[in-house]
Structure 1
Amino acid sequence: MMQSVKRFTYNGFTTEYFDLGPADAPAILFLHSIRSTKELFRLIMPAFLPQYRLIAADIRGHGGSSRQGPYTFAQVVEDLAHLLDHETIREIAIVAASFACVPAQLFAATYPQRVRKLVLLDGGFYNLGDLPGFRIDAQVRKYQQTVFSTLDDVHRAFARHHPGSTVPPAIAESEVEPDADGRYRFKLPVEALASYFQEYERFDRVALFSRLACPVLLLLSDEENMPLEEGKTFLRHAAADYLSRTRQARAVKIPGSQHLLMLSHPQETVSHTLRFLSE
């Protein structure tokens, strides 16, 4: 299925993306999590075919897209607008994961006439800096120091990071590349990771949420999997606050699920998303 890889260059910046399904079908734009790639949706995309046309893009700095700044959510929105213009797609639904839920909402707020519906996969409903136990400097330092000797090490690390989830090799391998010594490091530049985290930390959520006009489905992971009690409480309150500020939104929690819902609970993620999109 994942054979239709395309590239589009605008002003020297290239976006790599999947374009699957009938060209005249309603379009869905899939946006992956931080450090990941368009491959993240490999397990769930077949369920949307042939009913929908699927565009899954590598966000700036990720995967096969150009690694050049600025690494900002505003720039991501501009990149996506140019991509959709290039493909002559006037209207879309967006399915976004984790950090990409913020630029997805920013796109919907900037181009309300272009977005039918938003599906937010466990992200974008709080400021990252408010999440208990999360420190950007520590995360960036750990990322910068991470190195794998072999691809087998990459696969084992992903399996540990996503317990109980099915992680196809293509997903893990799309995030890394060999360095000069033959070891494997993440493709996403360190400065991109830091910049996107900072954007996620400080975006004006009150202003952004108030600008949304389209229906929104917030699919939540099970907060009971959080290691800290403060984290569990924070996520419950953050989801409630989001719903109070975004009246056209509703939330559904998938029991037992991990943060990357499309990996831990692909069937439930597909079922909730398809039902919402068909309403």
Structure 2
Amino acid sequence: MHFQQERDGQHRSDAADRAVRHRFVTVDGIRTFYREAGPADGPVVLLPHGYPCSSFQYRQLMPALADRWRLVAPDFPGFGHSATPDPAEFAYTFDGYAGFLDRFAQTLGLGRAALYLHDYGSQIGLRLAIRRPGLIAALIIQNGDIYEDQLGPKYDGLKAYFTAPSGEGRRKLAEAVGEAGFREEFLNDVRPDVAARISPDLWQLAWAQLDHPVRREVMVGLMEGLRENLQWFPRYQAYLREHRPPALIVWGPQDGYMPEGAARAYLRDLPEAELHLLDGGHWLLETNLDEVAALARRFLERHHAGDRT
């Protein structure tokens, strides 16, 4: 009986250690929502989110790793549950978000961290890495594009707009910021059997959170900002070549924006990186969670395990 009580207590302790906690912190005067899981003194994994999602995209990965690592996922200003400051007071750009992510990490006292790079989060996270290379312990790279010659066919419309901007082109960008456009972002060329594993809650929740005049305009501005972001690609690549951070590349090649070639291109600058192509698309944490979590665990054990004593 005593043994059973101890075992039950251990199970409750494990469950508590893995629980995701939902919190707010003020960063630069901005009320910022974030999710956190794992021991307070564990090695940090920082999880910047992509478009059109929020920290919600990490809700299942976080408890899967929370027995060993401290996982922290903020909602950027204008996304999720965080505030939406006046555009005159906050720079809704990739560089602005990188600065915000830096100050968020400093506010929480996170210190050295592994970065999960996905979608827009890859652009923001790599800009942070360039700013503060000493902060970066390792990279987990998942469908985050930084090689212009490997962009998929879904970029064709954006590239045409970048070449010849017009009011009609901008109107089409604005039309993509809606529930139907978000559905396309989440399904994004995956096979029907993979699409069946992607819940419509994702695009419905994203639209419910982003259906706000300022937020809709921010989303369009970020899409326009991808043109300037292309000029950063060589800088991201140079950072990788210079610093050679340990890297796990885990990729869903069923991705009209970032196909298989976009993953393999990382090996140009990180030839020692570990590359895994999974049977999924852009949102692997919805369709291939167990595989990603297992690969991330083995990688982090080798490269960002902290004090084992």
TM-score (norm 2): 0.71
Cα offsets for 1:137-172 (capped at 9, x unmatched): 469725535545xxxx99987886671324383x44
Q: Which runs of 5+ in 2 are unaligned?
A: 1-18, 162-168, 303-309
In the TM superposition, residue 98 of structure 1 has moved relative to its aligned partner by 1.7
In our comparison, the structure showing a higher alpha carbon Rg is: 2
Aligned residue number for residue 27 of structure 2: 9
The AA in structure 2 aligned to 1:120 is I
Aligned residue number for residue 260 of structure 1: 283
- Maintained 8 Å contact 2:186/2:282: no
3-state SS of the aligned residue for 1:6?
strand
Aligned residue number for residue 43 of structure 1: 60
- Maintained 8 Å contact 1:35/1:186: no
Cα offsets for 1:214-249 (capped at 9, x unmatched): 211111113xx3569xx85xx42x434321222442
In the TM superposition, residue 36 of structure 1 has moved relative to its aligned partner by 0.7
Aligned residue number for residue 232 of structure 2: 203
| Greater share of residues in strand | 1
Distance 2:181 2:233 in 1: 36
| Greater share of residues in helix | 2
Structure 1, 20-29 or 154-163: larger mean CA deviation? 154-163
The AA in structure 1 aligned to 2:286 is L
Cα offsets for 1:35-94 (capped at 9, x unmatched): 110001122221012311111011243222343442333222211111111111111111
- Maintained 8 Å contact 2:187/2:198: no
In the alignment, is residue 165 of structure 1 matched against residue 182 of structure 2?
A: no
Aligned residue number for residue 90 of structure 1: 111
Aligned residue number for residue 11 of structure 2: none
Q: Which runs of 5+ in 1 are unaligned?
A: none
3-state SS of the aligned residue for 2:146?
coil
Aligned residue number for residue 190 of structure 1: 219
Aligned residue number for residue 241 of structure 1: 265
3-state SS of the aligned residue for 1:193?
helix
Distance 2:268 2:238 in 1: 13
- Maintained 8 Å contact 1:159/1:167: no
Give the alignment partner of residue 207 of structure 2, picking from 160, 163, 176: 176
Distance 2:181 2:220 in 1: 22
Identity of aligned residues (%): 19
Distance 1:158 1:87 in 2: 31
TM-score (norm 1): 0.78
Aligned residue number for residue 93 of structure 2: 72
Distance change in 2, residues 1:269/1:145 (3 Å): closer
3-state SS of the aligned residue for 2:208?
strand
Distance change in 2, residues 1:131/1:8 (3 Å): same
Give the alignment partner of residue 248 of structure 2, picking from 217, 225, 228: 217
Cα offsets for 1:234-272 (capped at 9, x unmatched): x42x43432122244232111x21111111211111111
In the alignment, is residue 270 of structure 1 matched against residue 298 of structure 2?
A: no
